[in-house]
Amino acid sequence: MSTTPTDTAVDRRFRVTPRQLALWEFTALGLVVVLWTQFGTGPTSAVDPLWSMEGSVESWAAITVAVAIQALPFLVLGVTVSAVIAAFAPPGFLQRITPRNSFLAVPVAETVAIALPGCECASVPVAQSFMRNGVSRAAALVFMLASPALNPVVIVSTAVAFNALPEMAWARFIASFLAVLIAGWLWIILGRDDEIRVTAPDGAGFGGCADDHCTHGETGSGKRSWRWRTFQMTALHDLTQAGGFLVLGAMVAALIKVTVPASWFADISQTPLLAVLVMVGLAIVLSLCSEADAFVSASFTAVSPTAQLAFLVVGPMVDIKLISMQAGAFGTRFVVRFVPIVLLCGLLSAVAVGTVIFGVL
């Protein structure tokens, strides 16, 4: 069977470098080793250890495994749903349903994003594809922010992670919705569309297409085969990338829990705004997938619910991973203007909603 140009483009987007492959393999191996040494029953396991992990090291390993294992099912579910939409959603649909008025297009795009969940890893190329297809810049950017932040998988995972605080799931949805909506409208007022650099199509857009006229060069079984291949490669790419960040985030969260004195968290909790800023900083640095970040946030029990909420609202919209992807796709000038707007909206929305729902800052 011949290879279509689109197949080649998809392969190019999801090509894995030897360094990336080695990193993923090392991360997976490390997780397996920790799991076996803590919960296994054979040689070198917990019942017959090759070495004994005691005290802080044992606590660190146990917390790392607990956070990662709890979050992994939701990560897999979110990535699977995202890959299905990337492979099978009809191209150009957002352009057809969004109003021409940019202010009206923003809430429409945000509502559509709730029904079409996506992973952060795919949100930037999806926004690029929408812009190429004629969707307004503001609507495409709103979809990019809302898809990973507001999708149902994220809200369910938050409810599970905060089972003792069910209000957190609703607080996250409301705060994220308001933050994205206001950020979209502010971009229309303060942003400059001419600073957004949209690169040439590479065949890796939403629904697998880079433009609205793409037919994949195939019909019938060939088209189905192409879509299945797109689904497989998208799911594999997003799962390995997001899984690596999940394990790293769980390790860092566990390290903080074990090494940072409880008195330090108690001290910053006395200054609520400082606690919020610390959690926002962690969210930006850890760059967790939105389907898994609730379990990491829930592990920081010493800070207020509002500070935990700020972690959940800001993380899916602004983190190191997303900033680098946005700079590569749209240009540095765009990032310098866009990121502060989103960060400010996320922070203020989380503080306002958290104060109202939880009664404390």
**What residues pair up with 182 in beta bridges, in sequence order?**
none
> Tens digit of pLDDT for each residue in 306-337?
999 999 999 999 988 888 888 888 889 999 99
> For residue 318, what are the contacts with CB-CB under 8 A and spacing of at least 6?
283, 284, 339, 342, 343, 346
In 3D, which of 66, 42, 38 has the Cα closest to residue 53?
A: 38
Q: Which of 269, 264, 303 is CA-nearest to residue 283?
A: 303
Distance between CA atoms of residues 229 and 8, nearest Å:
12
Over the Cα atoms of the chain, what is R_g?
21
Percent of the chain with pLDDT strictly greater than 90: 31
Q: What is the pLDDT of residues 164-200, one digit of tens each?
A: 999 999 999 999 999 999 999 999 999 888 888 876 5
Q: Where are the domains of the chain?
A: 5-44+53-358
For residues 88-106, give the mean pLDDT.
Answer: 78
Q: For residues 257 and 63, is the Cβ–Cβ distance under 8 A?
A: yes
Taking 90 as the threshold, does the pLDDT of residue 61 lie above it? Answer: no
Tell me what the mean pLDDT of segment 290-310 comes to: 91
- Whether the predicted pLDDT of 259 surpasses 70: yes
Check: CB of residue 98 under 8 Å from CB of residue 126: no
Sign of CA dihedral 175, 177, 181, 187: positive
The DSSP code sequence of 212-269 is: TT--TT--THHHHHHHHHHHHHHHHHHHHHHHHHHHHHHHHHHHHHHHS-HHHHHHHH
Kindly tell me if the per-residue pLDDT of 136 is higher than 90: no
Better pLDDT: 252 or 342: 342
Got the DSSP string for 156-167?
A: HHHHHHTTT-TH
Q: Report the alpha-carbon distance of residue 306 to residue 279 in Å, rounded.
A: 10
AA identity, residue 304: S
Q: What is the dihedral of CA 215, 217, 219, 221, to 10 degrees?
A: -120
Q: What is the pLDDT of residue 1?
A: 44
- Contact criterion met (CB below 8 Å) for 240 and 24: yes
Does the structure show a pLDDT above 90 at 127? no
Give me the pLDDT at residue 201, please.
Answer: 47
